[in-house]
Amino acid sequence: MFRFVRLFVQSFSRLLYSRRDLMLENLALRQQLAVLKSKDRRLRLATPDKLFWVLSRRLWTGWRKALIVVTPDTVVRWHRSGFRLYWAWLSRHRVRLGRKRIGRQTRDLVFQMLAQNPTWHAPRVHGELTMLGLEVSERTISRWMRQAPRNPEPARRWRTFLHNHREAIVAMDFFTVPTVTLGVLYCFLIIAHDRRRILHLNVTRNPTGAWVIQQLREAFPYQSAPKYLIFDRDAKFDSEVAAAVRALGSKPIRTSFKSPWQNGIAERWVGSCRRDLLDHVIALNERHLKRLLAEYVRYYHEDRTHLGLGKQTPDRRTAQKRRGVERIVSQSRLGGLHHRYDLVA
């Protein structure tokens, strides 16, 4: 009975439709009937059928009411897929306008000029290319200057300095740790370059230059400071910190702007600490984080092998030799996040 009433209401409402809407609805229903009468047991709409509904969505506002075989979201997804395919095809077959791209030979010549003449800028390079009969705009040269390969010599010299003076170099750095209450704790570390040992580690909520100076005094008492101390251009390492470093007998060395690779030993330790510990725990407060970091430093010094130390540990963990049928036992570290394995007779 309800179905009959519903059919009657729908039929009466069709009297209010325009002739165009009735024709479109009839066409949509016939198209779906043809799909349902297909011999394929699984209902699959061909590409013309999908294109029909995509166009209906664009040209007819009442297409949702006549849709039966699929959901409206499916038609929207077909339309978006067609949009992506259309613009992908258009981008591959479009006619390029504007100036022709400079050739690889000219581009390499620009890079060569910049490498051999570090003080040159776009106008000077453009002038040289003009003298050679090459027609390239100055703006194009400016754009290619941003992509020019950097000179590797400064990096090699810096790496050589770090390698030759590793016994006399330490580095310091800050890194942040979020807490369970959405606060931020600042961790301060001092690491030696020779054996990658952590000389000092502390946590605070309010890092200042005076606090950093106090940490340096605790880390290097009785004139025990190394010859060089590397740190970045963090605002917490102000001029007073640099003066305190000189007063301790060390030479402060600031890294260049946006060059974390120059303080790579400290940055790599921070990355190891995050991957090994901080990415798997949530710090509750300052006391909790200090305990976690103290356990990690103990594990880092005594148990964790280091690629930069030839698969050894900072505390020179001795390799065990098998003499018989020893048993291998595991000892948990950091609450079970990591383990150490030893031979037991």
Q: Are 207 and 236 in contact (CB under 8 A)?
A: yes
Superfamily of domain 157-309: Ribonuclease H-like superfamily/Ribonuclease H (3.30.420.10)
pLDDT in tens, 23-82: 767 777 677 777 666 656 666 667 777 777 677 766 666 666 677 667 767 766 767 777
Among 9-18, 103-112, 175-184, 316-325, which range has the highest average pLDDT?
A: 175-184
Strands 184-192 and 338-344: unpaired
Burial zone of 196 (CB within 10 Å; 0-12 exposed, 13-18 middle, 19+ buried)? buried
> Which amino acid, 307?
L
Q: What is the pTM of this model?
A: 0.59
pLDDT given at position 110: 86
pLDDT in tens, 294-314: 999 999 999 998 888 888 899
Q: Average pLDDT for residues 173-183, to the nearest whole number?
A: 93
| % of the chain with per-residue pLDDT over 90 | 36
Query: Measured between alpha carbons, how far is 101 from 140 in angstroms, rounded to an integer?
Result: 9
Place of tokens 């305990």: 291
Q: Are 327 and 344 in contact (CB under 8 A)?
A: yes
Locate the domains of the chain by residue range: 24-93, 104-145, 157-309
The dihedral built from the CA positions of residue 286, 287, 290 and 295, taken in this order, carries a sign that is negative
Per-residue pLDDT at 11 exceeds 70: no
